[in-house]
């Protein structure tokens, strides 16, 4: 059942967050599983193909991160407008976000296809793997809009308090990919075997399902899309707000795949089998972060609506519960991954060298997922409070002063085991820094001037009305 704004603003914090989180757990699990299915079926073709797909991870995730930043900004601004009871403003935010997304898709699609060779050669791809990378990424870049636009749309739907339908869309897309992957990769009957190209086509078809459903819900059910001619001054004002808030989040999110790319470049010195093992391990590790990702997908609109309604204590209570739960839950997951590592590694490859690296990865790197989960929640808290510049600062510190340097030093001293251990230690230090920043931010949240109306986005009449309600001016 859909959770209303009334429940978000007045219902019991823990139970409401749980109801919003559970559908997202199932949905994100399905999305990660369908990525793992890609890895599994491509891995059956050979180590070079698996290494090629592993090289694409950082690049595709960087673009997804750009979209997530805009999606989070849309969700926070939209949830705040809903919390304030401003339906017209909510419709305008959603529509202008989609228009901006279309422009970004055109730039990403064109620029991405033209720069495949230099990007992947800089990551260490050889001539053997570059051909397979082209088979996948040439198609991926052409149709990337079918992925990015629904991501923004789903963020808007979640901002209303509905996490069920975005979850259903993600599940259906995931199931479609699982069914089509073996068909297009290996062929059956009249369908020819297309190899890595088939994996890309299966992904595109699955994106189409989410695209159609997302647009329909936004337009027909939620009535959050306007097709009238926009006020261009107002539209550019919203775009400015979205960029101002979304770009720090996007850059911060991009730093995660950038850090993965840095590690891949370090791992690549040990050969293609090491890159393949790292890629398989990364996909498996991501499965065990599902709950933290789902929790933050629910936490962001929950906090934004309460902050928009100036219910600061409820927002802080939700953040505190989420941090404690995420850290403890992820810490308890590590022993499970350690014990299952040999069995999980054999799922993705039969190459003993690849299996050895995957097991090594799974017995070291997941030790840091309790810190990774905490970092995800910390960043969500900062984003909901419109402190996205702090999210970016914390993320920069994590990657360039903690994660990458510690991994590099560990690799110099103790080879691959040291590299992975150094990355874990870097995440632990970064989580401590993030905890301090969030604690300082929320200790004075009511003093922050982050919830006043952006004057460029509204008429003078709207500004005067909201200022009177906020007690900033005397009534005439």
Q: What is the pLDDT of residues 408-464, one digit of tens each?
A: 999 899 989 999 999 999 999 999 999 999 988 888 765 554 444 343 433 434 434
Q: Maximum Cα–Cα distance for the chain, whole Å?
A: 79
Does 101 map to a domain?
yes
Is the pLDDT at 468 greater than 70? The verdict is: no
Task: Name the most confidently modeled range: 55-59, 82-86, 121-125, 381-385.
Answer: 381-385
Residue 350 has pLDDT above 90, yes or no: no
| In a domain? residue 341 | yes
Whether residue 368 lies inside any domain: the answer is yes
Residue 68 within any structural domain of the chain: yes
How confident is the model over 284-306, as a mean pLDDT? Answer: 82
**The domain containing residue 67 runs over which residues?**
5-465
Q: Is residue 168 part of a domain?
A: yes
315 pLDDT higher than 80: yes
* pLDDT tens digits for range 225-240: 877 777 788 888 888 8
Is 473 part of any domain? no
Secondary element (H or E) of residue 95: helix 87-114
Give the pLDDT of residue 457: 39
Over residues 142-158, mean pLDDT: 85
Does residue 472 lie in a domain region?
Answer: no
Query: Is residue 459 in some structural domain?
Result: yes
Chain-wide mean pLDDT for the chain? 82
How many structural domains are present in the chain?
A: 1
Residue 33: what pLDDT? 67
Report the pLDDT value the prediction gives residue 269, as an integer from 0 to 100. Answer: 84
């Amino acid at each position: 059942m859909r959770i209303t704004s009334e429940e978000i603003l007045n219902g019991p914090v823990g139970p409401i967050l749980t109801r919003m989180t559970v559908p997202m757990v199932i949905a994100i699990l399905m999305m990660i599983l369908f990525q793992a299915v890609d890895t599994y079926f491509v891995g059956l073709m050979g180590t070079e193909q698996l290494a090629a797909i592993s090289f694409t991870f950082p690049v595709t995730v960087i673009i997804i991160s750009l979209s997530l930043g805009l999606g989070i900004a849309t969700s926070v601004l939209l949830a705040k407008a809903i919390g304030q009871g401003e339906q017209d403003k909510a419709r305008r935010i959603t529509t202008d976000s989609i228009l901006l997304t279309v422009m970004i898709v055109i730039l990403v699609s064109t620029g991405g296809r033209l720069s495949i060779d230099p990007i992947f050669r800089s990551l260490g791809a050889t001539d053997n793997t570059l051909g397979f990378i082209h088979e996948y990424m040439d198609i991926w870049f052409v149709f990337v809009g079918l992925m990015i636009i629904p991501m923004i749309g789903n963020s808007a739907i979640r901002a209303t308090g509905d996490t069920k339908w975005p979850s259903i869309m993600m599940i259906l897309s995931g199931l479609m990919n699982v069914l089509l992957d073996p068909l297009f990769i290996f062929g059956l009957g009249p369908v020819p075997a297309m190899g890595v190209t088939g994996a890309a086509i299966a992904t595109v078809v699955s994106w189409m399902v989410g695209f159609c459903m997302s647009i329909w819900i936004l337009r027909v059910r939620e009535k959050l899309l306007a097709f009238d001619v926009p006020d261009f001054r107002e539209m550019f004002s919203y775009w400015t707000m979205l960029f101002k808030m979304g770009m720090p989040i996007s850059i911060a999110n991009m730093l995660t795949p950038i850090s993965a790319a840095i590690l891949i470049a370090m791992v690549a010195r040990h050969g293609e089998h090491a890159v393949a093992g790292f890629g398989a391990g990364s996909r498996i590790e991501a499965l065990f972060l599902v709950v933290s990702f789902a929790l933050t997908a629910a936490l962001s609109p929950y906090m934004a609506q309460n902050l928009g309604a100036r219910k600061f204590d409820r927002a802080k209570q939700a953040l505190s519960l989420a941090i404690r739960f995420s850290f403890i839950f992820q810490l308890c997951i590590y022993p499970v991954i350690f014990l299952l590592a040999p069995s999980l590694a054999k799922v993705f490859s039969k190459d003993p060298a690849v299996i050895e690296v995957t097991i090594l990865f799974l017995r070291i790197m997941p030790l840091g997922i309790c810190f990774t989960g905490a970092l995800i929640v910390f960043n969500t808290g900062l984003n909901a409070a419109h402190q996205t510049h702090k999210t970016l600062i914390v993320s920069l510190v994590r990657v360039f002063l903690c994660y990458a340097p510690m991994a590099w030093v560990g690799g110099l001293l103790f080879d691959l085991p040291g590299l992975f251990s150094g990355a874990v230690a870097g995440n632990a230090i970064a989580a401590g820094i993030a905890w301090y920043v969030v604690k300082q931010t929320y200790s004075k949240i009511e003093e922050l001037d982050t919830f006043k109306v952006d004057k460029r986005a509204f008429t003078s009449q709207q500004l005067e009305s909201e200022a009177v309600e906020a007690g900033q001016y005397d009534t005439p």
